[in-house]
Structure formats: structure tokens, C-alpha cells
């Protein structure tokens, strides 16, 4: 990080996920070590190997949403709108900044696919005489960012990113760059994702779904558990936040990303991309490995991914007895394009509230990994800096550094 670059802080938080319909609910469940993974009721899972996921059951659209937009909005859009409303209300940014100085950058992978699937099935099964326009118009990944900007009158730069499971990690990094460059005064950033049949079928075909709630970093891990939801952060410069008297939950300190250029679905076996993303994030933040107290790992619960990430962390951080490493996917599932944002939110809560989230469902850590993987339950801790990793299909790797405010 250049010495002249402004410090960036997080002044608004919002979420909807399977663990909670607000930041307060999410924080309490995260600290308690709760798992939200259970039977899928959103659609029929007959024929799939696994029939569980971390599904959001409180999925009502905001009551203030206009009828036309309510009819058109997808499940992903609704999650994003609810999380954004919470984050903006807390931050108060829209009362202090001109609309054209507030940017929007969101990550995601499936957009409105669930509604598009339902539209297609209704037509094929003879339940509808035509294809409805709204599900098709609302299907693209870009629509959630459009809807958020339109509903909340945010007229600054607008960007939708889709880099598989690192999508919203890249969104946070892009927001940081925008603020450092002075392009905006504040950014609404994060990610949103909905479960859908296409995703379930794809991971089922890859034999990547666990038949029981996922066990990140466990010797018996057998696959991932899908999830859904959204997390939104309002970020601005520390100077700007102080000037308007806003509370800073945490600092967004740096980020790094990389590409494996190796395989469409498998990580590089030596973890070269993961190593590069972490080292770039540290350099961008102006920190050394010893400065990091906690890593929120990508930790999907698949045999190869966890092994590669654990080895990469060992290479970057060496012997670091003070370093805690945990995955929150055993609690909230793998939310794909929203994972980077939801897990960054978990990391912010850890920094702000002074605890390390547990690796839920971890019972037998692999003996060859010399890492503190936080089994059993959360623990109190004073954290200075933390790293949140997000790795996606195609070798898309992102690491974000967050700090205590």
C-alpha cells in the first residue's frame, strides 16, 4: 500500500443468510458455533446424491419494494436488497454523500437462475402457455447490482463481478481500489447468491457434495455443502467517516488476487495461485505474515481444496503459533459468489467483537497440518489483522486483509 493511500473503513454491515436475517443474528449464531445446514425445501432434490444445504427460510421481499420491482426481482435480488437496506440504515451514508459519489460493486454467480429455471419448467410441463419476460430479464448476474442501485438511488460507478467463488472477494478489493483512487466517496459492496437446481446438479455431477453437513479440514471430509444469502458492506475513507461521525467496524486494509491457469475445477496442486493471492494481499496492505492473527479460510470441505489451502497457508505463514485458521462453511455453507462477502463479514465481526469463529463440524483435524484450526467452539481473542481467502473454479483466487478499527 502506498503511504499516500487513504485508510478505508467499514461503516455499514448487512446480511441475510441461513444463520441469520440480520448482522446481530448472524453474529450470535456464528459465535455459538451453530450450523444452518439442513434439508433443502426450495426445490425437489430427488435424484441428487446430497439433499442438504444452508437454505435461507426467511426470504420475503422488503415490504417497501414497489409492486413492479417485487414481481421482477429474483431471490438473489431480494437478498441483496435486504442486506443493503440494513447496511445503509446503519451507516447513514446516503444522508451524507451525494448519490453520484456512492458506487456499487457486487459479486455473484447464478443471478436469477432459480426463477428462470421455474419459468422453463412451467412451460415444459404445460403449466404455462408462454415464457414470462420478468424471469428472463432478471436472470443475468448484473441485475442485482442494477436493482440495488436503482432502489437506493446510488448513481456512482456500478459493477457486477463474476469470478466463481471469489466474486465478492474481488468486489471488496475493487471497492478498496475505487476509494484509494478517489473515484467515489463511498461504496456499497459485497455479494449475493441463491440456491438453484443448476448449481445443485453441477456439484452433484462433480461428486463434490457431501452427504452430511460439510467438515472443513477434517480427516473424514467428503465434500462441500451449498449455501445462499448476501452480505453487504458500506466502505469509505477513515477521514470521511470521522468527519461525519460514523462508527467504523473494521478497516479494509488490502487485497490480492491471482489466477492458477491450471484447471477448470481443481486448484493448482502446489497452491501457487493461493500463495500468490495471499502474498499480494499482504504486500498491498503493507503487512508481514507475522502481523496476521486470524485467517478465515476458503475451507470448502473437499479433500483436495482443503489440503492445498492448508499447505499454502503453511508456506506463506510458516510456524505461527499465534495464528488461528478456521472455515465458516460448516456453519453457513458454501455460498459461492457471496462467500467472499459473507466470510469477510464474519471476519469483521471477529475483529470487532474479539473472538475467533470455530470450524463447525471439525472433529478430527489432519495430523500433518501444523495449524490451529479452531475445533470445538469459538474462543475469545484480541485480533489486530485478519485475512479472508476466497478461491473459485477456474483458479480464481482472492485474499482480503481486514484490520481492527
Distance CA 73, CA 84 (A): 15
Contact between 229 and 20 (Cβ < 8 Å):
no
Find the catalytic residue in 240, 249, 268, 298.
298
Query: Strand 102-107 to strand 52-53: parallel, antiparallel, or no bridges (unpaired)?
Result: unpaired
Whether 207 is a known active-site residue: answer: no
Distance CA 115, CA 286 (A): 44
The 10 Å Cβ neighbour count of residue 384 is 12
Neighbour-count burial of 70, counting CB atoms closer than 10 A to its CB (0-12 exposed, 13-18 middle, 19+ buried): middle
Which residues have C-beta within 8 Å of that of residue 53, sequence separation ≥ 6? 37, 38, 40, 195, 200, 225, 226, 227, 228, 333
**Radius of gyration, alpha carbons of the chain:** 20
Find the catalytic residue in 240, 249, 334, 404.
334
Distance CA 296, CA 341 (A): 12
Distance CA 226, CA 216 (A): 13
Contact between 253 and 260 (Cβ < 8 Å):
no
Whether 298 is a known active-site residue: answer: yes
Looking up cell 465481526, which residue turns up?
349
- Residue of 165, 144, 168, 149 lying closest to 75 (CA atoms): 144
Neighbour-count burial of 34, counting CB atoms closer than 10 A to its CB (0-12 exposed, 13-18 middle, 19+ buried): middle
Distance CA 303, CA 301 (A): 6
Find the catalytic residue in 119, 165, 196, 214.
165
Q: Identify the DSSP state of 246.
A: P
The 10 Å Cβ neighbour count of residue 33 is 18
Helix (H) / strand (E) element for 23: namely helix 23-32
Helix (H) / strand (E) element for 99: namely none
- Residue of 366, 400, 368 lying closest to 171 (CA atoms): 400
Which residues have C-beta within 8 Å of that of residue 283, sequence separation ≥ 6? 254, 256
Query: Could you list the active site residues?
Result: 165, 298, 334
Amino acid at each position: 500500500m502506498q503511504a499516500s493511500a487513504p485508510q478505508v473503513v467499514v461503516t455499514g454491515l448487512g446480511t441475510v443468510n441461513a444463520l441469520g436475517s440480520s448482522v446481530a443474528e448472524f453474529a450470535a449464531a456464528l459465535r455459538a458455533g451453530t450450523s444452518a445446514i439442513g434439508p433443502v425445501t426450495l426445490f425437489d432434490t430427488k435424484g441428487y446424491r446430497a439433499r442438504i444445504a444452508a437454505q435461507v427460510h426467511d426470504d420475503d421481499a422488503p415490504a417497501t419494494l414497489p409492486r413492479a420491482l417485487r414481481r421482477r426481482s429474483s431471490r438473489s435480488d431480494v437478498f441483496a436488497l435486504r442486506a443493503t437496506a440494513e447496511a445503509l440504515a446503519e451507516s447513514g451514508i446516503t444522508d451524507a454523500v451525494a448519490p453520484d459519489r456512492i458506487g456499487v460493486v457486487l459479486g455473484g454467480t447464478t443471478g436469477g437462475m432459480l426463477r428462470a429455471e421455474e419459468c422453463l419448467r412451467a412451460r415444459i410441463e404445460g403449466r404455462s402457455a408462454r415464457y414470462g419476460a420478468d424471469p428472463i430479464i432478471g436472470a443475468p448476474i448484473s441485475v442485482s447490482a442494477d436493482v440495488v442501485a436503482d432502489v437506493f438511488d446510488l448513481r456512482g460507478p456500478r459493477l457486477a463481478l463474476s469470478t466463481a467463488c471469489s466474486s465478492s472477494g474481488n468486489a471488496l478489493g475493487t471497492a478498496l481500489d475505487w476509494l484509494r483512487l478517489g473515484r467515489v466517496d463511498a461504496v456499497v459492496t459485497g455479494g449475493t447468491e441463491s440456491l438453484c437446481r443448476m448449481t445443485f446438479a453441477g456439484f452433484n455431477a462433480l461428486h463434490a457434495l457431501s452427504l452430511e453437513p460439510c467438515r472443513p479440514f477434517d480427516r473424514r471430509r467428503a465434500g462441500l455443502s451449498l449455501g445462499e444469502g448476501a452480505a453487504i458492506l458500506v466502505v469509505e475513507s477513515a477521514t470521511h467517516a470521522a468527519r461525519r461521525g460514523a462508527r467504523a467496524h473494521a478497516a479494509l486494509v488490502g487485497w490480492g488476487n491471482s489466477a492458477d491457469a491450471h484447471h477448470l475445477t481443481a486448484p493448482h496442486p502446489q497452491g501457487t495461485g493461493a500463495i500468490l493471492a495471499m502474498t499480494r494481499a499482504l504486500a498491498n496492505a503493507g503487512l508481514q505474515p507475522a502481523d496476521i492473527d486470524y485467517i478465515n479460510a476458503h475451507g470448502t470441505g473437499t479433500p483436495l481444496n482443503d489440503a492445498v489451502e492448508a499447505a499454502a497457508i503453511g508456506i506463506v505463514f510458516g510456524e505461527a503459533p499465534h495464528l488461528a485458521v478456521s472455515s465458516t462453511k460448516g456453519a453457513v455453507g458454501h455460498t459461492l459468489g457471496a462467500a467472499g462477502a459473507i466470510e469477510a463479514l464474519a471476519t469483521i465481526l471477529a475483529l470487532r467483537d474479539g473472538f475467533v469463529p470455530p470450524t463447525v463440524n471439525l472433529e478430527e483435524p489432519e495430523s500433518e497440518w501444523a495449524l490451529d484450526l479452531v475445533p470445538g467452539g469459538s474462543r475469545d481473542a484480541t485480533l489486530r489483522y485478519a485475512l479472508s481467502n476466497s478461491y473459485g473454479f477456474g483458479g480464481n483466487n482472492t485474499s482480503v486483509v481486514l484490520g481492527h478499527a
